[in-house]
A and B are shown apart, each in its own frame.
Chain A
Amino acid sequence: MSASDTDFLGRPVIAVTGLGIVSSLGKGVEANWEALTAGRSGIHRIDRFPTDGLRTTISGSVDFMGEMGRTSTGLSYAMAEAAGSEAIIMAGLKDDDFAGPLFLAAPPVEMEWQHRLRLDKMDGAEIEEAGYDRLLQIARKHPDPSIYHLTQCSRISELLADRLGTRGLPITLSTACASGASAIQLGVEAIRRGETERAITIGTDGSITQESLIRFSLLSALSTQNEVPEKASKPFSKDRDGFVMAEGAGALVLESYAAAKARGATIYGLILGCGERADDFHRTRSKPDGSPIIAAIKAGLADAGLEPDGIDYINAHGTSTPENDRMEAMGLAAVFGDRLKETPISSNKSMIGHTLTAAGAIEAAFSILSLKDGLLPPTINHTNPDPAIELDVVPNEARRQEIGAVLSSSFGFGGQNACLVLGRAPGA
């Protein structure tokens, strides 16, 4: 290994050699990047299920994955498969024999309403009264392993491991809306430990159902600005009123820089550092002083060996909820000081919505594309800035700007805070 193969702590430098993206904007890196940098929104009215009586009737659902889209588990797999396969092929490797470990951020799954209602209609129960006792009697008469499979949280990674030819026991993880970033962090750590030369990290989320929408709605987390769907997600705006649920998947092939170079792979960018810090204040709200967010950002910078002035662009978590955007801006101000106002920061969620478990992975993939192309996607729907948040949000139109390092932040329910620092490929 030469000096450039290791970082300031003597650890292997982590290269990104492949990307894959699915979102409401489309399938594939090219289609997504083109739409995102053109400032197009993927948010639309929901027609997957009836929305009568619901406070929110819009989403960034992914409705083009065919039959697999009929269940959350199936859709989450199909998008992960598409993104994972795209990333591996882009890396110049075989998409059925990746030969490295899989780190998967996936939504928790359970039985869906379509299955409960289907079972309840069947015969075979002595108990007439609706409920689980009746369903258990029916299940004994009419076993159906296909429903059981959809309820297993290891299902998606099992299918992916076979399809992509990954090695070892895949890790399926959930750190809520930070999951995608956490998956990348696990991959980085495995390569730094020298366990593997490459890893594939995927974040996927296809869990928009009536129940999931209602659950978020009951927590008052969602935008109810249904009239013009594509204008509902407006991070850092004064009239933001919640996030827009969305679906998608993002995949990155991570490799030790030395291994990537040795096989002549194209290097699209680097993962320079990862930081995390849990919040012990509240199940859905951040500690009022922002200290866990601040600590996570600082940990990411420290792991990358950078000071705040080494960051040229921030890919925000920017959910468009009143709480998140205020706390995120406050946390960034505490770390970046006066420099924050001069640092462009934009939220991909203004266009693709909040892809929840997948968000950190998709946004890391977009961050690599920003580094590669010198192009910052905009924060759209920014016509009414929040005067309490003074940021250069790259309003409404993409901007050409050469950048060397990006901070990508992810914050989630349950006190989850994770930050990635991504860098431009050497010589690019």
Chain B
Amino acid sequence: MTDEPRHVLITGIGLVSSLGEGIGAHLDFFGRGPGLQPNINSQDYAPYYVHGLPPIDWSKQIPKRGDQRQMETWQKLGTYSAGLALEDAGIPMDETVRGEIDMIVAAGGGERDAAVDAMVMERARGSNDAGGVINDTLSTELRPTLFLAQLSNLLAGNISIVHKVTGSSRTFMGEEAAGISALYSARARIASGQSEICLVGGAFSAERKDLILNFDLAELMLRDEWRPVFARSGAHQGIAVGSVGAFLVLESPEHAAKRSAKAYARLTSATGDRGRRERERTSQRFADLLPKLSSSMDEVMVLSGATGLSDLASIEREVLAQRLSGAPLRAYGTMLGHSFEAQMPAGVALAAGALSRGMAIPPFDTGEEKPASAAPRQAVVTSIGHLHGEGVCLVEAIEASRP
């Protein structure tokens, strides 16, 4: 333990989304804006909108076919993104080095076997013994190893196996809150001296009808007409899910200096809260999470992880207009889709990359978002969870950051 809190640096980023792979590819793409088109699959999931993955050569980060076979897309996406982050941080594939790295993963659950599920439902229709049908069908049709592809903590387990990160392995669950808590916990541990280096992040695979079903049972999905996140309202609001894998390497300055690692940016704070969702109380909680900034709002960028639910977006924008008035605001869900557990890690990844490049991100939605007048020095990343949980991270530019 150290007496004075230490800085926490972001020294590696692994980001994969519908827009491509690598933080550089994402920023290059944004650099071509405004007027960018997201990569949305509106056919296979109609009337829903899904930001699906481009083709990925999984073997670049998961070299063994045997390992790939043990995972479905969600775990592969997370394991791949974690590998990108470690590689990006310049951490060699050396078990003694990687064996000292802590890990916190924000995870949901893995894919079901949709064909087996359909078979159970089909057989149960003609039977007066649904229980017996479930026993017989699942016992004979389920692949034994599918369980491991579904278990939440097996994303972390696969990262240990494939990338040899074994210092510790903790999996946080609970939709957006999981990503917020993962960053909070990893940052707090490093700042206090409980940890030196931590791989932290999450993954969400959007191309899953079983998950879309869960959310649309509560009428949360955007349907029939796509709009940018901040333009969604009334009947045209909701979540457009997006596949995202987002991992960061967080590190103490001492540890980074020892291995001559350069950082993208500093993760200055990561905070979260929850409570009842009446408008006033939600506004107050969110306002309390926002950092008090001294710099000019021209140099502040707000990356909002807004879900596409208009009531929450309106609360968020109202508070931001009061507290960070004039700071350019971008809803990155417009481009990446909403990725629940990975939403906050993805926002922090984009913030760190943009700060390091000194890049003002162009508006994703020219109707609702204003161009920036200067390069950002500070980025406030928000995530108001679709059902509960609110979080805010402050990411700050540093001298002599990575180019």
Task: Count A/B pairs, Cβ under 8 Å.
Answer: 248
Chain A nearest CB from B46 CB (Å) reads: 10
Please choose the segment from A22-30, A46-54, A310-318 that sits at the chain B interface, where 4 or more of its residues have CB less than 8 A away.
A46-54
Are A132 and B274 in contact, with the CB atoms below 8 A?
no
Query: B368 interface residue, CB < 8 Å from A?
Result: no
Are A9 and B1 in contact, with the CB atoms below 8 A?
yes
Please choose the segment from A153-161, A234-242, A250-258 that sits at the chain B interface, where 4 or more of its residues have CB less than 8 A away.
A153-161
Are B161 and A282 in contact, with the CB atoms below 8 A?
yes
Task: Report chain A residues within 8 Å CB of B174.
Answer: 152-154, 157, 172
Task: Report chain A residues within 8 Å CB of B157.
Answer: 278, 283, 413-416
Query: B400 interface residue, CB < 8 Å from A?
Result: no
Are B138 and A171 in contact, with the CB atoms below 8 A?
no
Instruction: Specify which of A53, A161, A279, A292 is in contact with B139 (CB 8 Å cutoff).
Output: A53
Are B172 and A173 in contact, with the CB atoms below 8 A?
yes
Task: Report chain B residues within 8 Å CB of A292.
Answer: 166
> Once bound together, how far apart are the Cα atoms of A52 and B129, in whole Å?
11
Are A49 and B131 in contact, with the CB atoms below 8 A?
yes
Are B151 and A176 in contact, with the CB atoms below 8 A?
yes
Are B189 and A189 in contact, with the CB atoms below 8 A?
yes
Tally B residues with Cβ within 8 Å of A: 86
> Once bound together, how far apart are the Cα atoms of A214 and B132, in whole Å?
12
Task: Report chain B residues within 8 Å CB of A214.
Answer: 135, 138-139, 142
Give the nearest-CB partner of A170 in chain B. Answer: B274
Chain A nearest CB from B141 CB (Å) reads: 10
Chain B nearest CB from A388 CB (Å) reads: 27
Query: A111 interface residue, CB < 8 Å from B?
Result: yes
> Once bound together, how far apart are the Cα atoms of A121 and B121, in whole Å?
9
Instruction: Specify which of A51, A211, A278 is in contact with B138 (CB 8 Å cutoff).
Output: A211
Please choose the segment from A37-45, A142-150, A222-230, A327-335 that sits at the chain B interface, where 4 or more of its residues have CB less than 8 A away.
A142-150
Are B154 and A152 in contact, with the CB atoms below 8 A?
no
Please choose the segment from A62-70, A133-141, A392-400 that sits at the chain B interface, where 4 or more of its residues have CB less than 8 A away.
A133-141
Chain A nearest CB from B174 CB (Å) reads: 3
Are B209 and A133 in contact, with the CB atoms below 8 A?
yes
Give the nearest-CB partner of A49 in chain B. Answer: B131
Query: B225 interface residue, CB < 8 Å from A?
Result: no
> Once bound together, how far apart are the Cα atoms of A56 and B217, in whole Å?
34
Task: Report chain A residues within 8 Å CB of B366.
Answer: none
Known contacts being A136-B209, A193-B192, is A416 close to B153, with CB within 8 Å? yes
Query: A106 interface residue, CB < 8 Å from B?
Result: yes
Are B153 and A174 in contact, with the CB atoms below 8 A?
yes
Are A283 and B148 in contact, with the CB atoms below 8 A?
yes
> Once bound together, how far apart are the Cα atoms of A116 and B113, in whole Å?
14
> Once bound together, how far apart are the Cα atoms of A139 and B177, in whole Å?
26
Return 8 A-B CB contacts under 8 Å, by A number.
A116-B120, A136-B209, A136-B213, A148-B217, A162-B276, A172-B177, A192-B194, A218-B142
Are B160 and A215 in contact, with the CB atoms below 8 A?
no
Task: Report chain B residues within 8 Å CB of A50.
Answer: 129, 131-132, 135
Query: A339 interface residue, CB < 8 Å from B?
Result: no
Chain A nearest CB from B393 CB (Å) reads: 13
Query: A219 interface residue, CB < 8 Å from B?
Result: yes
Task: Report chain B residues within 8 Å CB of A153.
Answer: 108-109, 152, 173-175, 178
Are B173 and A277 in contact, with the CB atoms below 8 A?
no
Chain B window 116-155, contacts with chain A (Cβ cutoff 8 Å), 1 for yes, 0 for no: 0111111011000111101110110010111110111110
Q: A143-B219, A168-B274, A283-B145 are in contact. List 14 more A-B contacts (CB 8 A).
A: A52-B135, A106-B173, A116-B117, A121-B125, A132-B118, A139-B213, A186-B170, A193-B1, A279-B160, A281-B161, A414-B154, A414-B157, A415-B157, A415-B169
Among B103, B156, B217, residue most surrounded by chain A Cβ atoms (within 10 Å)? B217
Are A148 and B188 in contact, with the CB atoms below 8 A?
no
Task: Report chain B residues within 8 Å CB of A136.
Answer: 209, 212-213, 216
Query: A11 interface residue, CB < 8 Å from B?
Result: yes
> Once bound together, how far apart are the Cα atoms of A171 and B177, in whole Å?
8
Question: Residues on B close to A: CB < 8 A?
Answer: 1, 70, 95, 103, 107-109, 112, 114, 117-122, 124-125, 129-132, 134-136, 138-139, 142, 144-148, 150-154, 156-158, 160-161, 164-175, 177-178, 180-181, 184-185, 188-189, 192, 194, 209-210, 212-220, 223, 272-274, 276, 385, 387-391
Chain B nearest CB from A57 CB (Å) reads: 10
Instruction: Specify which of B121, B129, B146, B274 is in contact with A116 (CB 8 Å cutoff).
Output: B121
Task: Report chain A residues within 8 Å CB of B168.
Answer: 276-278
Task: Report chain A residues within 8 Å CB of B385.
Answer: 154
Task: Report chain A residues within 8 Å CB of B117.
Answer: 116, 131-132
Query: A428 interface residue, CB < 8 Å from B?
Result: no
Among A9, A153, A219, A276, residue most surrounded by chain B Cβ atoms (within 10 Å)? A153
Chain A nearest CB from B153 CB (Å) reads: 5
Known contacts being A192-B1, A215-B142, is A131 close to B181, with CB within 8 Å? no
Task: Report chain B residues within 8 Å CB of A148.
Answer: 214-215, 217-218, 220
Task: Report chain B residues within 8 Å CB of A218.
Answer: 139, 142, 144, 147
Are A219 and B147 in contact, with the CB atoms below 8 A?
yes
Give the nearest-CB partner of B217 in chain A. Answer: A148
Are A210 and B121 in contact, with the CB atoms below 8 A?
no
Task: Report chain B residues within 8 Å CB of A144.
Answer: 217
Chain B nearest CB from A353 CB (Å) reads: 19
Are B172 and A211 in contact, with the CB atoms below 8 A?
no
> Once bound together, how far apart are the Cα atoms of A77 and B124, in whole Å?
29
Task: Report chain B residues within 8 Å CB of A211.
Answer: 134, 138
Are B151 and A108 in contact, with the CB atoms below 8 A?
yes
Query: A280 interface residue, CB < 8 Å from B?
Result: yes
Query: A266 interface residue, CB < 8 Å from B?
Result: no
> Once bound together, how far apart are the Cα atoms of A277 and B169, in whole Å?
7
Task: Report chain A residues within 8 Å CB of B147.
Answer: 215-216, 218-219
Query: A307 interface residue, CB < 8 Å from B?
Result: no
Chain A nearest CB from B202 CB (Å) reads: 12
Are A278 and B274 in contact, with the CB atoms below 8 A?
no
Q: Which of A265-311 contact B (CB under 8 A)?
A: 276-284, 292
Task: Report chain B residues within 8 Å CB of A31.
Answer: none
Are B160 and A278 in contact, with the CB atoms below 8 A?
yes
Known contacts being A276-B168, A278-B167, is A132 close to B114, with CB within 8 Å? yes
Are B169 and A111 in contact, with the CB atoms below 8 A?
no
> Once bound together, how far apart are the Cα atoms of A130 and B150, in whole Å?
22
Are A175 and B171 in contact, with the CB atoms below 8 A?
yes
Known contacts being A51-B135, A108-B173, A154-B177, is A277 close to B153, with CB within 8 Å? no
> Once bound together, how far apart are the Cα atoms of A87 and B153, in whole Å?
27
Q: Which of A171-229 contact B (CB under 8 A)?
A: 171-176, 182, 186, 189-190, 192-193, 195, 210-211, 214-219
Chain B nearest CB from A109 CB (Å) reads: 8
> Once bound together, how far apart are the Cα atoms of A135 and B178, in whole Å?
28
Query: A412 interface residue, CB < 8 Å from B?
Result: yes
Query: A10 interface residue, CB < 8 Å from B?
Result: yes
Task: Report chain A residues within 8 Å CB of B156.
Answer: 278, 414
Give the nearest-CB partner of A55 in chain B. Answer: B139
Task: Report chain B residues within 8 Å CB of A210.
Answer: 131, 134-135, 138
> Once bound together, how far apart are the Cα atoms of A182 and B194, in whole Å?
15
> Once bound together, how far apart are the Cα atoms of A395 and B103, in whole Å?
39
> Once bound together, how far apart are the Cα atoms of A106 and B212, in whole Å?
23
Are B175 and A152 in contact, with the CB atoms below 8 A?
yes
Instruction: Specify which of B124, B214, B273 is in contact with A169 (CB 8 Å cutoff).
Output: B273
Chain B nearest CB from A116 CB (Å) reads: 6
Task: Report chain A residues within 8 Å CB of B152.
Answer: 108, 153, 174
Known contacts being A174-B152, A176-B151, is A416 close to B169, with CB within 8 Å? yes
Are A173 and B387 in contact, with the CB atoms below 8 A?
no
Query: A117 interface residue, CB < 8 Å from B?
Result: yes
